[in-house]
Amino acid sequence: MRLKTAATAAILLSASALAQTAPDKRDFDREIEAATQSAKTAAGFEFLGTLVRTCLLPQSGGEDASDNIPEYVVDPKKAPPRDTWYAEPAKVFDNLYFVGGKIHSSWALRTREGIILIDTTYPYNSEELILGGMEKLGLDPKDIKYLLISHAHADHIGGAEMIQRRYHPRVVMGGPDWDLVESHPNRYKTMAPKRDIVAADGMKITLADTSVTVWLTPGHTPGTLSYTFDVLDRGRPVRVAYSGGTAFNFVNNTPDPGIRNFQTYIESQRRMAVKAAEAGATVLLSNHSEFDNAYNKNRMLAGRGKGPHPYDIGSEWVQRYFQVMQGCARAAQIRLEQKAAQAPERKG
């Protein structure tokens, strides 16, 4: 009898260790706390913005499936005031230029044979920030040969149609995000480039001796792209990991498909961390200043002197960025697992 009880206890113990097999035995609150704590520890002082957005602030209710013309497209006077978004452009590395704003980033990678532009801010500010910024920095927008769109949200694809029409670069985007643009003509009014290159995992976009390697990192959107590439800092090669989508804008509030969506997101971050490590990345870039501190770091650059480059944080910190994203996504995923365990009959 005693043996049987011990055996039952052992089975229960291993079942709860396996978590999925006995959800009612799990201590969800403790698991959520542990995942959140892992993200907090990883964030340190470097990635507070990423931590706050993905772990602490309330998440959006889910995916926006509507197809409405944005109000700033219908009436340009409704665009946010310039002083909420304008930032000075900056030469960040020998061959990489920041041409974004206070909140959203756009990056110009210069080569001998032209420019690879990454992300394009909103339709209402891409002309001034990107084209104006390039001109201020001595770059000619006519030299844009490739345009890489990390994902099809208005804050990154906003200037793509205009830039494609004026300068005819090849445009690269993830397949599912090309589909999204084509199926939402109103949502992407004035922003939609014509379908061009569908990104493939590991694809290299090359101009002269510079290549950007494209990685498929679905999660933030199904077609989200991230990148690895090299830049030069005073002649020294420095490796960059570019994280193309961060917040949980997908369906995140119901177990089905939320748990699966978070799993996709977590696996992408795990994989991107490996790609960053393999590339030897010591710089983490994003398309939001909130996540990589670009706006503040650009101002630090001016006072750098002979000191270290403010963006060159070392490979361990680059890894920590992806740990923050994974920890916060896992905490949110466990919350949904808890919800599913509490009301399994309502699943689906």
Binding-site ranges for Zn ion (CB under 5 A): 153
Which residue's CB is nearer to Zn ion, number 157 or number 231? 157
- In the complex, minimum distance from the CB of residue 9 to Zn ion, in angstroms, rounded to a whole number: 48
- In the complex, minimum distance from the CB of residue 224 to Zn ion, in angstroms, rounded to a whole number: 8
Which residue's CB is nearer to Zn ion, number 139 or number 154? 154
User: Which alpha helices (H) appear in 18-142, and where do they start and end?
Assistant: 28-43, 48-51, 71-74, 82-85, 126, 133-136
Which residue's CB is nearer to Zn ion, number 60 or number 206? 60
Contact 129, 101 (CB under 8 A): yes
Residue with tokens 């420095």: 238
What is the spatial distance between Cα 44 and Cα 324, in angstroms, rounded to a whole number?
Answer: 10
- In the complex, minimum distance from the CB of residue 37 to Zn ion, in angstroms, rounded to a whole number: 27
Which residue's CB is nearer to Zn ion, number 114 or number 222? 222
Which residue's CB is nearer to Zn ion, number 93 or number 295? 295
* Residue 114, strand partner residues: 111
Which residue's CB is nearer to Zn ion, number 104 or number 335? 104
Cα angle: 19, vertex 25, 30; to 5 degrees: 75
- In the complex, minimum distance from the CB of residue 249 to Zn ion, in angstroms, rounded to a whole number: 6
What is the spatial distance between Cα 40 and Cα 330, in angstroms, rounded to a whole number?
Answer: 13
Contact 191, 154 (CB under 8 A): yes
Contact 144, 119 (CB under 8 A): no
- In the complex, minimum distance from the CB of residue 318 to Zn ion, in angstroms, rounded to a whole number: 21
Which residue's CB is nearer to Zn ion, number 87 or number 103? 103
Residue at shortest CB range from Zn ion: 153
- In the complex, minimum distance from the CB of residue 317 to Zn ion, in angstroms, rounded to a whole number: 23
User: Which alpha helices (H) appear in the chain, and where do they start and end?
Assistant: 2-17, 28-43, 48-51, 71-74, 82-85, 126, 133-136, 154-157, 160-167, 175-183, 255-279, 289-292, 294-301, 315-342
DSSP state of 344: G
With a CB cutoff of 8 Å and minimum separation 6, the contacts of 254 are 62, 336, 339
- In the complex, minimum distance from the CB of residue 76 to Zn ion, in angstroms, rounded to a whole number: 22
